[in-house]
Chain A
């Protein structure tokens, strides 16, 4: 990316973006980013890359996607961790997470989905209906999954506007479910081959698998540094890195995150942190926080605590597990992909006790003082699973605060009171 400012309006117009509405949306981001990010002190220098990426969130990256398509490649939009990026890359595709992290065009979205639908689904519909997400407008294909009832039914409606392909994610992890899922991976490959016009080759899949693993390894390095006292990076900055991982160029992102990890490892060696050593340390678990949803992290860190980890799809679930790189045959590689992705612990599975162990392990390894369980309102799976997760975490001796919220600002006052009281408890 170059840093000369370019007017992207002609490009957005060609993509079919609603320009006045989109200008309003982009106009809101700088203030939001200023308040949440640029007021922080002692940020790692490497975060300058992310400041730039956010400032060009719908600009230079979209230009790269447009150029990629012009050169014969495809762009595939996704909403969920269960879509293997390796497969998309191996047929010359770019995987982008679609915009679903802000309240937009809810009035239009509510003509399709009930008002009591979770914010993520409603936002995904709103961004598409409002024609303000250039990622969605660039996508040759959107891949949905059956992680919850709300999404499942929404794909049917979204499919009226954009080509949607749905993979069936099983909801249990028995051998029969693994068999179903392995078949789904096979069928997804066929669909990707059809849309891209390219055959999936073992060599290309091997490269893609290594590249995506490298991205995860870089995030693992960055996040491992957060175990240090004092934490060398804020939770907000670490969250942003994962949010950007969903749509940035993979090798460049990996390189930039490794640079930040170098800097953080040096900070840890020097005992340098972004907060005083006595700042309470919080682990967050629950539903994903799509960009630009920085609400809870900002409230927690402005209350004087530091977020040291996220057991979330925009957190450890994204980068903790790698795909086995040892298989040499295409079949073996697809087996490895099926195994890795089925091993993500989402509340859509039953039972999902492994997630509770993940939370307990992260709380211990990251030296958390307390755990916040945050869930999007109307997310039945996470809100219900909160009961057993919270119970186990309390039994292990960690105070727990449970927050059910959405993307709006109307409850920030009440959330702040609860979070501040929780932080007072941890001191």
Chain B
């Protein structure tokens, strides 16, 4: 089989994530990139591939420009785009296109053979996906038009509390008893947070309350799609330790985490390119 190199791009609202894949023959020459997913994770489902390199860059004000710079490296035969900017990438670089839902299914199934559900909490949306035993999408749900309960929501709340995003997750872990947060609307919740601060509530408790509120909403979404069996928690928010703990406690099944949760979509896009022409 001739060697093929695929660039998978997940063009999201907050970051552009890229994974370069090649067929397994290159394994020996691949160098350090192959180790990115670790020996435990690198087993393949039905495509024999190796990860050559990967990166996460800020979308900035021009996500297509960020994507164009990655494409300009030129180290690929095919580009497959997913995420919010996928259509524009198809127009700009002739990328093949799949949805984030399918990309996450492919990426998750590749990393963990027995995974049956995926929770992706990204910058602008949250998705709950269930998979069949053979790894195909069985059902899915996404949040509606607003950013309630997504990464963006956490960013806004961190700012309101005078913390950065990592600091927000750490504060929540220390929070103990949670402050009650009732609104999931980004604008209303921010007012609620400011109100709590004025009443002298500790930042850690507010942070805890915010995480618990999002976790409840997210677990309900998983329940609605009938998620059962091993769950992969992916997307940028999966890096948040407080959210990982809450999802783990509330799910009632095994929760696995990718080493690089932000790259699952880009990996899935690249895998799609391995499976289909040109």
Binding site for B on A (CB under 8 A): 399, 404, 410-411, 413-414, 417-418, 420-421, 424-425
Contact = CB atoms under 8 A, between A and B. Distances in A.
Interface of B: 84, 98-102, 125, 136-140, 142, 144-145
Contacts of A410: 145
A421 B144 contact: no
Question: Which 10 pairs of residues, A with B, have the shortest CB-CB distance?
Answer: A421-B101, A421-B99, A411-B145, A420-B99, A424-B102, A425-B137, A417-B99, A418-B142, A414-B145, A424-B99
B137 A421 contact: yes
Contacts of A404: 144
30 contacts: A399-B139, A404-B144, A410-B145, A411-B144, A411-B145, A413-B84, A414-B125, A414-B142, A414-B144, A414-B145, A417-B84, A417-B99, A417-B100, A418-B101, A418-B140, A418-B142, A420-B99, A421-B99, A421-B100, A421-B102, A421-B137, A421-B140, A424-B98, A424-B99, A424-B101, A424-B102, A424-B137, A425-B136, A425-B137, A425-B138
A425 B131 CA distance: 11
B123 to A, nearest CB: 13
A399 B99 CA distance: 17
Contacts of B98: 424
B69 to A, nearest CB: 23
A411 B136 CA distance: 26
B88 to A, nearest CB: 11
Contacts of A425: 136-138
B100, B102, B136, B145 — most chain A CB neighbours (10 Å): B145
A131 B145 CA distance: 31
A371 to B, nearest CB: 13
Contacts of B140: 418, 421
Given A399-B139, A411-B145, A418-B142, 20 more contacts: A410-B145, A411-B144, A413-B84, A414-B144, A414-B145, A417-B84, A417-B99, A417-B100, A418-B101, A418-B140, A420-B99, A421-B100, A421-B101, A421-B102, A421-B137, A424-B98, A424-B99, A424-B137, A425-B136, A425-B138
Contacts of A399: 139
Contacts of B137: 421, 424-425
Contacts of B138: 425
Contacts of A411: 144-145
A411 B98 CA distance: 19
B218 to A, nearest CB: 17
A420 B139 CA distance: 13
A411 B143 CA distance: 11
B122 to A, nearest CB: 12
Contacts of B125: 414
A172 to B, nearest CB: 30
Nearest to A411: B145
B40 to A, nearest CB: 29
A411 B142 CA distance: 12
A1 to B, nearest CB: 39
